Amino acid sequence: MQPSKRVFIASIATETNTFSPMRTDLQDFHDSFYAPPGTHPATPTLCSAVYTAARAGAVELGWEIIEGTASWAEPGGVVNQSTWDFLRDQLLEELAAAGPVDIVLLGLHGAMVAQDTIDCEGELLALVRAQVATNAIIGVTFDPHSHLSHRRVENADLITVFKEFPHTDFVETAEDLVRLAAAAAAGETRPEISTFDCRMIEIFPTSREPMRGFVDRVRRMEGKGDVLSISVIHGFMAGDVPDLGAKVIVITDGAKRAGDAMAARLGKELFGLRGRTRPEFLGLDEGLDRACAAKAGPVVIADVWDNPGGGVPGDSTTLLRAMLARGMHNVALASIWDPIAVRTCFSAGEGACLRLRFGAKMAEGCGEPLDADVIVRRTRRSAVQSFGASIVPIGDAAWIEVGGIDVILNSVRSQVFSPDIFSNMGIDPEKKSVLAVKSTNHFHGAFAPMAADILYLSIDGPYPNDPATNRYTRLTRDIWPKVKNPHET
Ligand SMILES: [Zn+2]
């Protein structure tokens, strides 16, 4: 019987769109999710599933768990430097106060950029490494929409990444990390991380081929021979950082050369899928033509780029204006972020009719604010939606009716994950002909079972959606599609 392992867990997560007009500070973490030591709920959030996974494994593994703070801010703009300094130092102080530990497990997103710190997670992992015993195991979970720097790989023993996009496997990813860390700390395995730089940036939904098959095959390779774990970093095209792009991670049990070869093989295979992984993106008119012509509903139309989950404000009115101009009806849209308009709706009260200005206040390219006669159908304090086992706040929210279209206005930014964003406000999504959602693909898992059809609309806005022309200033290497074949140069 081995002595019980002392395990420190913590989570700091957000995704930074360096092109966004938003800025992210401590209040944004408090608005989305902030759990001081010992207060993390029994349900996991996307990046803090290490808490529930480690707690669940503690008895079986004989772990003594010391919890640090867990925090998450909705993706936004560059993080205020003092906010990052505070969160980082707080974690390091909590780690120091924990005393000697055998294992550190961190739930990070991996695409956080602060004003003067380009690689927040790399800095954090290096500082954690410097603070713990040389034989302590450091494990981290990342979101695939992140950047993998050498500094992170150098300072972590284990990295697991959500394999699915939508990230339906965030709990499983944390459970994998717990299992791998337990084996490594017990001396049963000697993890070695191999990586391959695919030198590309693309969107890789796993809800469709060819990524579906790629991920299924990767899963079958895990646990065979010396292969402990395989992950794919998709990259995040709205983060201007040197490490932007897709990378493959293979963790072997002491078989670095074989791991390097496998990472290269899988990475080149992924590179071979470039340009073929994203769903068909329709233009605004084409998409609405198809939605209007549909024989059955609800047709789900995704405004893929005005996705607050990608760090933009999420207050574009372009899609809503186009639907109003067509006189579309029996349509619901979630959501337009406008805390001031929400406040006004609360003041007016349920049932009130008023002239309201809403939307398009935060960025160029979001259209113009709408000035319209609206009816306030419902108001809700601290409204939420679900994302798998996770509960996601959207803040105080109002359901307004404008020109026959039901629109949810929210005050805490969030992309749409689940139809319950509608039903929690009193709108029955099943009865609608068209459901318009602001999300790139995370909506897919929960909406697909009820959707008659799903259409992806590419509407230009503040999101830097074309990596070939995005103005990257920090890239230090060639990537596709900026160059045709970066592996030849
Ligand atoms: Zn992601």
What local confidence, expressed as pLDDT, does residue 341 receive? 98
State the pLDDT at residue 160.
98
pLDDT band of residue 389 (cuts 50, 70, 90) is confident
Judged against a pLDDT cut of 80, whether residue 489 lies above it is answered with no
pLDDT at 9 over 80: yes
Distance from the alpha carbon of residue 170 to the mean position of ligand 1, in angstroms? 10
How many angstroms is it from 348 CA to the middle of ligand 1?
37
Q: How far is the centre of ligand 1, averaged over its atoms, from the C-alpha of 110 (Å)?
A: 9
The pLDDT of residue 311: 96
269-290 pLDDT, tens digit per residue, is 999 999 999 999 999 999 999 9
Q: Ligand 1 centre from 197 Cα, in Å? A: 19
Quick one: pLDDT at residue 388?
87
What does residue 305 show for φ and ψ, rounded to 5 degrees?
Answer: -95, -20
Tokens of 132: 């713990």
Q: What is the pLDDT of residues 116-143, one digit of tens each?
A: 999 999 999 999 999 999 999 999 999 9
Identify the band that residue 193 occupies on the pLDDT scale cut at 50, 70 and 90: very high
Q: In 10 A of CB 324, how many CB atoms?
A: 18
CA geometry: angle 72, 73, 77, nearest 5 deg: 145
Give distance in angstroms: CA of 482 to centre of ligand 1: 22
Measured CA to CA, the distance from residue 227 to residue 250 in angstroms comes to 7
pLDDT in tens, 420-464: 999 999 999 999 999 999 999 999 999 999 999 999 999 999 999
- Ligand 1 geometric centre to CA of 120 (Å): 17
**Position with higher pLDDT, 242 vs 60:** 242
Q: What is the helix (H) or strand (E) element at residue 173, kind and residue range?
A: helix 170-185
Q: Kindly report the average pLDDT of the chain as a whole number.
A: 96
Per-residue confidence band for 390, with pLDDT thresholds at 50, 70 and 90? confident
Distance 299 CA to ligand 1 centre (A): 24
Q: pLDDT tens digits, residue range 297-342?
A: 999 999 999 999 999 999 999 999 999 999 999 999 999 999 999 9
Rounded distance from Cα 247 to ligand 1 centre (Å): 14
Distance between Cα 190 and ligand 1 center (Å): 29
User: Which of 37-46, 92-101, 234-243 has the lowest average pLDDT?
Assistant: 37-46
CA of 145 to the centre of ligand 1 (A): 4
CA 257 to centroid of ligand 1, rounded, Å? 30
Ligand 1 centre to CA of 449 (Å) is: 22
pTM over 0.85: yes
How many CB atoms within 10 Å of residue 318?
Answer: 21
Find the 245 Cα to ligand 1 centroid distance in Å.
Answer: 13
Instruction: Give Cβ neighbours of residue 233 (< 8 Å, ≥ 6 apart).
Output: 110, 142, 144, 146, 147, 148, 161, 246, 247, 248, 249
Percentage of the chain exceeding pLDDT 70: 99
Q: Which pLDDT score is estimated for 2?
A: 66
Give me ligand 1 centre to Cα 74, in Å. Answer: 11
How many A from CA of 243 to the centre of ligand 1?
16
